[in-house]
């Protein structure tokens, strides 16, 4: 598992989350990830939920999204919890982020 080493890439993290297809393995992943993260537990939980939730937009099936929402209480860090986000929601988020960067 990716947490057997000190560092991992974003691609490795996403690939690992996308490959998990059952609640038992998801629970083990969550436990190991929380142990790997540093900081107060509330910060680690927030990071874990957002990072797993980010993977929702990387081609994850609705079935797996539901599993991660139950097992990890994961949620996408930017989108409303509805599936999938509408084009207008994505555009609005993009435009707000672009405005902050300019």
Please enumerate in sequence order all residues whose Cβ is within 8 A of that of 84, keeping only pairs 6 or more positions apart, or say none.
Answer: none
Q: Is 29 helix (H, G, I), strand (E, B) or coil?
A: helix
pLDDT digits 0-9 by tens, 17-49: 999 999 999 999 999 999 999 999 999 999 999
**CA 61, CA 92: separation in Å to the nearest integer?**
24
Within 4-85, residue ranges assigned H as helices are 10-19, 23-36, 41-54, 62-71
pLDDT value at position 50?
Answer: 92
* Domain range summary for the chain, segments of one domain joined by +: 2-101
pLDDT value at position 74?
Answer: 92
pLDDT value at position 2?
Answer: 65
Higher pLDDT, 20 or 3: 20
pLDDT value at position 40?
Answer: 96
Q: Which letter, b or e, does each residue of 55-73 get, where b requires 16 or more Cβ atoms within 10 Å of its Cβ?
A: bbbeebeeebbebbbebbe
pLDDT digits 0-9 by tens, 72-82: 999 877 665 55
pLDDT value at position 63?
Answer: 92
């Amino acid at each position: 598992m990716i947490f057997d080493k000190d560092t991992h890439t974003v691609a490795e993290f996403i690939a690992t989350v996308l490959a998990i297809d059952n609640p038992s393995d998801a629970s083990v992943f969550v436990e190991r990830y929380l142990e790997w993260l540093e900081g107060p537990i509330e910060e680690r939980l927030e990071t874990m939920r957002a990072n797993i939730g980010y993977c929702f937009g990387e081609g994850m099936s609705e079935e797996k999204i539901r599993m991660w929402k139950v097992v990890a209480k994961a949620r996408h860090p930017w989108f409303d919890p509805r599936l999938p986000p509408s084009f207008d929601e994505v555009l609005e988020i993009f435009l707000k982020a672009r405005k902050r960067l300019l």
